[in-house]
Amino acid sequence: MDLLLQQIAAATTYLQSFSFETPRVGVVLGTGLGELVNHIKIAHSIPYQQIPHFPESTVESHKGHLILGHINDTPVVAMQGRFHYYEGYTMQQITFPVRVMKALGIQQLLLSNAAGGMNPDFKKGDLILLDDHINMQPENPLRGLNSPAYGPRFPDMSCPYDTVLGEKLQQTATAMGHPLKKGIYVSVMGPNLETRAEYRFLRMIGADLVGMSTVPEVIVANQLQLPCAAVSVVTDECDPDNLHPVSIEEIIAVAGKADKRLSSLFATVVAAL
């Protein structure tokens, strides 16, 4: 067995040593977006550093726990805090938890993130359902030797976000009185935010939102043929002709304000899966 498969097996075996029902849904919670945890009946909250081969979260706003529990009757595994390329990890490390969650048995994956809104229709605090993405990060999680056990060498990406799961999110959000807008997310390396010229460029190539995460996990989910959906919270408005300085503290504060709405949405959808 190759090293990655051995590491996935070690992490999975460790997690299976906790007694819990096979999780049906995986959730990855983005920057400032941890409130979903309050909707989970928690069976186990396991610090990442205890899980074999899990990278350790270095970002203060990310708690770094893997949560096993239930939302209503749905068994879930939730990542409270994710890993980013700018922290210095490899793409393979960033996406390791997705492979482990799949090995644990999840059938669907939901992701959230904080993102800059470049589409002028998007306002701070809006929730945007990702429709597609552009990968501008400098490495790819599938680069290197590919064991057939990882999934196909050249995964199809014609529809990276599951339309059925997306429709469920949209219907639920609409029923809750906050229909989702849709958008295309471009992933960048970070950690600096963009210059005006960069926002102009990213808008020009077709992106509505910009952020530093999500795409690696979605690429791996697609390789694993794991249906996924992602929702961004617009934390800053990125108009290159009227750009205001923004700090990470403001980004986290805006994400925090939208977190209740996003978490209720995710919890309602997960409960029905």
Among residue numbers 200 through 219, which ones bind ligand HPA (CB under 6 A)? 210-212
Least separation in angstroms between residue 251's CB and ligand HPA is: 5
- Does residue 23 have a cis peptide bond before it, meaning omega lies within 30 degrees of 0? no
Q: Strand 181-187 vs strand 209-211: parallel, antiparallel, or unpaired?
A: parallel
Contact call for residue 194 and ligand HPA (CB under 6 A) = yes
* Residue 163 vs 192, nearer CB to ligand HPA: 192
Contact call for residue 127 and ligand HPA (CB under 6 A) = no
Contact call for residue 251 and ligand HPA (CB under 6 A) = yes
- What's the rounded Cα separation, in Å, for the pair 267 and 269? 6
* Residue 91 vs 101, nearer CB to ligand HPA: 91
Q: Which long-range contacts (CB under 8 A, 24 or more apart) does 197-202 make?
A: 197/240, 199/116, 199/118, 199/238, 199/239, 199/240, 199/243, 200/240, 202/118, 202/136
Contact call for residue 114 and ligand HPA (CB under 6 A) = yes
Least separation in angstroms between residue 2's CB and ligand HPA is: 34
Q: Which stretch binds ligand HPA (CB under 6 A): 11-19, 110-118, 122-130, 169-177?
A: 110-118
Number of residues this chain uses to bind ligand HPA (CB under 6 A): 13
* Residue 210 vs 215, nearer CB to ligand HPA: 210
**Cβ distance 130 to 183 under 8 Å?**
yes
Shortest-Cβ-distance residue relative to ligand HPA: 116
Least separation in angstroms between residue 22's CB and ligand HPA is: 34
- What's the rounded Cα separation, in Å, for the pair 89 and 58? 10
Least separation in angstroms between residue 265's CB and ligand HPA is: 19
Least separation in angstroms between residue 192's CB and ligand HPA is: 9
The residues binding ligand HPA (CB under 6 A) are: 114-116, 188, 193-194, 210-212, 235-236, 238, 251
